[in-house]
Amino acid sequence: MNEQIAVKDLVLAQDKKDWFVADRFGMFIHWGLYALGARHEWLKNREEITTADYQKYFDNFDPDLYDPKEWARRAREAGMKYVVLTTKHHEGFCLWDSKVTDYKAPNTPYGKDLLKPFVDAFRAEGLKIGFYYSLIDWHHKDFGVDVHHPQRNADDAAAMNVGRNISNYASYMRDQVRELLTGYGKIDVIWFDFSYPNRTYRNLPGKGRQDWQSEELLAMVRQLQPDIIVNNRLDLIGQEGYLPDITTPEQYTPRAAPRINGQAVTWEACHTFSGSWGYYRDEETWKNPEQLIKLLVDTVSLGGNLLMNVGPTGRGTFDSRANDALAVYGEWMRLNSRSIYGAGPSTFQAPKDCRLTQKGNRLYLHIYSWPFRHIHIDGLGDKLKYAQFLHDASEVRWLTPEPTVDSNIGVAVPQGSITLELPVKQPNVTV
């Protein structure tokens, strides 16, 4: 490793992230050979499938209905402003025409590169482009059997590592990332996944920054794409002066905005429609419309972005459940996106069963459970100039000071609170 590289010099300036923070909502896409297995993108690991047995997916990969223009249109209509695509997931299969491997889409029955048309289509719809690139690679000959490897339980697991040279793999990754960051114009996000340096299983190790040669990889990324946002999974946290550009909690909405060493950080929650990331035909854990909208609002109210995942099918389509979920976002965002784009956490305290987002001096109240007529908000007394519903711009009136009625006797009403007067019946907010 090049000792000259100081990771603290590889941190992206905050203003380069302004677009990301304002955009708030992106589409994650997990697509690879595992779409054919249609039972989780980790199936090679979960079922301990050998590379020879996994070959059937490569030999049958032919997404004849692939139409990235349709994907891009659906993403834009859902209100998503950027996209992150798995150019290579843990299985090692590459969607683009990489010069350093044969394990790529152009060598399958499909016979063509999938990435260039993807990038063109999403850019044409005005979305920013992100590439997910897996650090884990269960196909590469120099990637040793480790705690997460499909062959971790093989009797000869340790012996299988003889002759494997992880530094060849690190150099292969740099070659591939160089291809990705030089062949497709300006790339806005790169999402490396993932490090597990301290895990062990049956004497098998984990992998982290020494294996990936993370400093060198990151330095190369910065040199090729100076404005690119790099996620936090290179195992560099804790290195002198280093802060990741974004922090990426996964399938988990934190109770408060994440911090590193007490410092607020730019962050992005990633979630799925169905539970798994890759297309999973029989999964029964699809989120309902209310959960979908709340994930977005919860995240933005804590100052984060939401990266919501679709797992396309082996024919290259979004299945109907994914399209329905995207339409839920589209319908909601058409009327409510003002509370999302450019918005963030509020300086005011959200009332019970509510979330607040704020953009400048505009406060957005998201009511999760419709009350009988009254919502009390503290601290707004002399600040509130006008209130309206977002969906139809109809006026909402309020009482200030908050009335002191019999039921309030003995209750301290905070100074400066107001009481919104809502209709008894919740308006249909998606008309």
CB of 145 to ligand JFZ, least distance (A): 17
> What is the amino acid identity at position 27?
M
Nearer to ligand JFZ, 199 or 315 (CB): 199
User: Whole-angstrom Cα distance, residue 302 to residue 358?
Assistant: 11
Can you give the C-alpha Rg of the chain in angstroms? 24
Which two structure tokens, joined as six digits, stand for 147? 């705690």
CA angle 336/356/247 to nearest 5° reads 90
Which two structure tokens, joined as six digits, stand for 132? 């997910």
Binding site for ligand JFZ (CB under 6 A): 30, 41-42, 193-194, 196, 250, 270, 277
Nearer to ligand JFZ, 249 or 371 (CB): 249
User: In Å, how far are 217, 285, 300, 370 from 353, measured between CA atoms?
Assistant: 45, 24, 16, 8
Which two structure tokens, joined as six digits, stand for 331? 């319908």
214 by Cβ neighbours in 10 Å (0-12 / 13-18 / 19+) ranks as buried
User: Whole-angstrom Cα distance, residue 344 to residue 20?
Assistant: 12
Nearer to ligand JFZ, 196 or 341 (CB): 196
User: Whole-angstrom Cα distance, residue 411 to residue 348?
Assistant: 21
Could you tell me which of 174, 114, 135, 157 has the C-alpha nearest to residue 314? 114
CB of 196 to ligand JFZ, least distance (A): 6
User: Whole-angstrom Cα distance, residue 234 to residue 217?
Assistant: 9
CB of 123 to ligand JFZ, least distance (A): 23
CB of 54 to ligand JFZ, least distance (A): 16
Name residue, tokens 């996994």.
54
Number of helical H runs and strand E runs in the chain: 12, 14
Nearer to ligand JFZ, 131 or 277 (CB): 277
CB of 277 to ligand JFZ, least distance (A): 4
Nearer to ligand JFZ, 101 or 309 (CB): 309
CB of 381 to ligand JFZ, least distance (A): 44
Which two structure tokens, joined as six digits, stand for 323? 């399209």
Nearer to ligand JFZ, 36 or 219 (CB): 36
Nearer to ligand JFZ, 57 or 277 (CB): 277
Contact 181, 228 (CB under 8 A): yes
Contact 190, 229 (CB under 8 A): yes
User: Whole-angstrom Cα distance, residue 49 to residue 40?
Assistant: 13
CB of 139 to ligand JFZ, least distance (A): 15
CB of 191 to ligand JFZ, least distance (A): 8
Nearer to ligand JFZ, 91 or 331 (CB): 91
CB of 126 to ligand JFZ, least distance (A): 24
Which two structure tokens, joined as six digits, stand for 142? 């120099």
Residue 76 CB-half CA count within 13 A: 15
CB of 272 to ligand JFZ, least distance (A): 8
Contact 94, 102 (CB under 8 A): no
Nearer to ligand JFZ, 270 or 325 (CB): 270
Nearer to ligand JFZ, 96 or 280 (CB): 280
